[in-house]
């Protein structure tokens, strides 16, 4: 398997030039932390070392060995994972963006996003453990009681303890109204009875305690989603002084055998096989669905990053193989030495497709993280609200579009390797297998599309989307009207993409048939993603052109300009095809009767 090296040069370009680091660090909360470009560069360099030297070498061995369930010892992670996790928390990485009040470092989400990309590129199975912990931290921070915050947050933020989300049941996947886990009141706590499936890192011995956040119903709860409550269920009960008490009645009873992410234990968790697992209500009864979405939105954004991360790892492997593998002669040459396959036009097409889409995904994800920072920390409530509207609009796009592209890019990685990509030796297979889950968990692509088209778009009658399109138009105008150069081609491509997005949005808002809207919602989500990616690549091209005029880092900036042009010529045209699908494709999707399938 090819070694992983964090693309820190492109990360810093996006952070500084596209995601507005200066605007983020000017916020009072970060000014107090003295966050500046030099600090960011140092953080990225140290994160890259951990990702490259510690996490990446465990990716293949973890895939082969996997996690295992021992009847006496519980779930045992793959060799080396416990030691790597200790290095991870010793470095303070778990609490990078958490508040200083709870022991975190208080850095911007923008910087945390770059490190999250690294962890997932290096070792996605490992990265899932702190990712789920982040959702638990966010939920308890926002809706937990003062006592719960004092009891759990310090250890969760440090990573000394880990956190999980326990939502899914065998009959209740995306339809949480079917949750049947019971919560029976008993004094100041509840007894939890039920079984949860697909619980990522639900059991392990890398940390002395795991804090489960569990959806369940109280005895008098109404049916449906209005009757769901959220509970903290520790693996070990926590005494008032923070020390660990007795083992709670919650256990992993089996591990799923999966297509990928073998080193991440996906557990079936049993609550209350004996006397009932002791749980503590978070917030109010029957408000669990709202609290769950606090965790879910956190997770959806980070799962979107997994699409980018796997795409980057697959690209690096394919690129290095293409530079090393000698096969055939250049087109039109019948004699002489054979050349490496990177000289062949079709291999170049595949590598450029991987590279361009990775860079577009990185830019969109990091810009979304910038909006998160401004939505959380800007001193003006109106400004916070504006940025939150942008975050709400983009999260389903980041989650859905980027994970779909992650699979596509990983598949192209196999293709670049040829026959060697279809065997496990090169690692290309693992990237494809690992990438496949990202479009499924934390809400499938269809669910993200339904959220975007059926909720985010309609809740403000398209105002947030129109504001986004207006910014894209501004970018196109700033590219100028000159003809015959790269920027002219890029502007023409962006203009066409924006027209497609505008027309598709108008159609979605005008339709009065919810089935028709839902039938083409994934096409609409992908269209939005491609155009958003094109917008960011156009912005990147403009910066690169200006840098080239002053002679700054010509190798990097010329590559950025060419890659942006490639995106406009070979990737963004998909938006026009998707427009036709949005406007005309819903009829055929719903036309067959059930018997005709």
* Alpha carbon of residue 161 to chain centroid: 22
Q: CB under 8 Å, gap of 24 or more: what pairs does 510-519 form?
A: 513/586, 514/454, 515/586, 515/590, 516/586, 516/587, 516/590, 517/453, 517/454, 517/586, 518/449, 518/450, 518/453, 518/454, 519/585, 519/586, 519/589, 519/590
With a CB cutoff of 8 Å and minimum separation 6, the contacts of 403 are 303, 304, 306, 307, 435, 438, 439, 445
Cβ(129)–Cβ(201) under 8 Å?
yes
Distance (Å, whole) CA 410 – CA 63: 16
Q: Which residues pair with 230 in a beta bridge?
A: 215
Helix orientation angle between 124-143 and 57-65, rounded to the nearest 10 degrees: 90
Residue from 5, 12, 14, 3 nearest 359 by CA: 14
Residue from 251, 200, 190, 159 nearest 67 by CA: 200
Compute the CA torsion angle 325, 327, 333, 335 (nearest 10 deg): 110
Token output for 408: 């596509």
Token output for 535: 């917008």
Residues in the chain: 597
Assess whether 442 carries a catalytic annotation: yes
Segment holding 443, helix H or strand E:
none
Q: Which of 442, 558, 594, 595 is catalytic?
A: 442
**Residues forming the active site:** 442
């Amino acid at each position: 398997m090819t070694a992983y090296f964090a693309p820190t040069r492109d990360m810093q370009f996006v952070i500084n030039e596209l995601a507005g680091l200066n605007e983020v660090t000017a916020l009072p909360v970060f000014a107090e932390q003295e966050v500046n470009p030099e600090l960011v560069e140092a953080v990225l360099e140290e994160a890259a070392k951990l990702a490259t030297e510690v996490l990446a070498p465990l990716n293949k061995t973890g895939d082969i060995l996997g996690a295992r369930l021992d009847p006496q010892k519980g779930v045992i992670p793959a060799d080396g994972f416990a030691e790597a996790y200790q290095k991870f928390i010793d470095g303070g990485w778990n609490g990078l963006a958490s508040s200083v009040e709870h022991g975190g470092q208080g850095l911007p989400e923008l910087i945390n996003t770059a490190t999250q990309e690294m962890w997932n590129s290096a070792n996605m199975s490992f990265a899932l453990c702190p990712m789920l912990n982040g959702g638990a931290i966010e939920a308890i921070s926002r809706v937990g009681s003062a006592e719960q915050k004092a009891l759990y947050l310090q250890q969760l933020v440090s990573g000394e303890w880990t956190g999980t989300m326990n939502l899914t049941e065998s009959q209740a996947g995306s339809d949480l109204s079917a949750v049947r886990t019971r919560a029976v009141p008993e004094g100041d706590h509840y007894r939890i009875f039920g079984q949860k499936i697909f619980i990522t890192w639900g059991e392990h011995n890398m940390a002395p305690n795991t804090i489960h956040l569990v959806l369940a119903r109280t005895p008098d709860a109404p049916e449906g989603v209005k009757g769901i409550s959220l509970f903290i269920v520790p693996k070990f009960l926590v005494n008032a002084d923070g020390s660990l008490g007795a083992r709670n009645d919650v256990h992993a009873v089996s591990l799923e055998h999966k297509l990928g992410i073998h080193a991440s234990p996906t557990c079936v968790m049993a609550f209350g096989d004996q006397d009932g697992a002791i749980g503590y209500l978070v917030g109010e009864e029957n408000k669990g669905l709202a609290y769950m979405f606090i965790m879910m939105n956190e997770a959806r954004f980070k799962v979107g990053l997994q699409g980018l991360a796997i795409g980057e790892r697959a690209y690096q492997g394919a690129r290095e193989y293409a530079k090393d593998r000698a096969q055939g002669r250049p087109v039109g040459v019948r004699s002489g030495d054979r050349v490496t396959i990177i000289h062949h036009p079709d291999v170049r097409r595949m590598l450029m497709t991987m590279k361009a889409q990775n860079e577009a995904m990185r830019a969109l994800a990091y810009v979304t993280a910038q909006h998160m920072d401004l939505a959380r920390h800007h001193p003006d409530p109106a400004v916070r609200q504006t940025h939150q509207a942008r975050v709400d609009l983009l999260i389903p796009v980041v989650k859905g579009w980027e994970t779909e592209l992650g699979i596509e890019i990983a598949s192209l990685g196999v293709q670049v390797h040829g026959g060697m990509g279809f065997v496990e030796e090169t690692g290309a297979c693992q990237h494809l297998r690992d990438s496949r889950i990202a479009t499924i968990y934390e809400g499938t692509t269809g669910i993200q599309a339904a959220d975007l088209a059926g909720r985010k778009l309609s809740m403000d009658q398209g105002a947030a989307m129109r504001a986004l399109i207006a910014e894209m138009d501004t970018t196109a105008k700033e590219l100028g009207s000159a003809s015959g150069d790269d920027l002219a081609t890029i502007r023409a491509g962006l203009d066409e993409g924006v027209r497609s997005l505008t027309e598709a949005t108008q159609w979605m808002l005008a339709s009065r048939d919810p089935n028709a809207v839902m039938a083409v919602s994934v096409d609409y989500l992908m269209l939005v993603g491609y155009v958003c990616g094109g917008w960011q690549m156009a912005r990147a091209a403009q910066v690169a052109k200006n840098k080239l005029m002053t002679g700054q880092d010509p190798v990097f900036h010329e590559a950025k300009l060419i890659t942006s042009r490639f995106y406009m010529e070979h990737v963004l045209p998909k938006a026009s095809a998707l427009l036709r699908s949005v406007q005309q494709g819903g009829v055929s999707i719903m036309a067959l009767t059930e018997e005709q399938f």
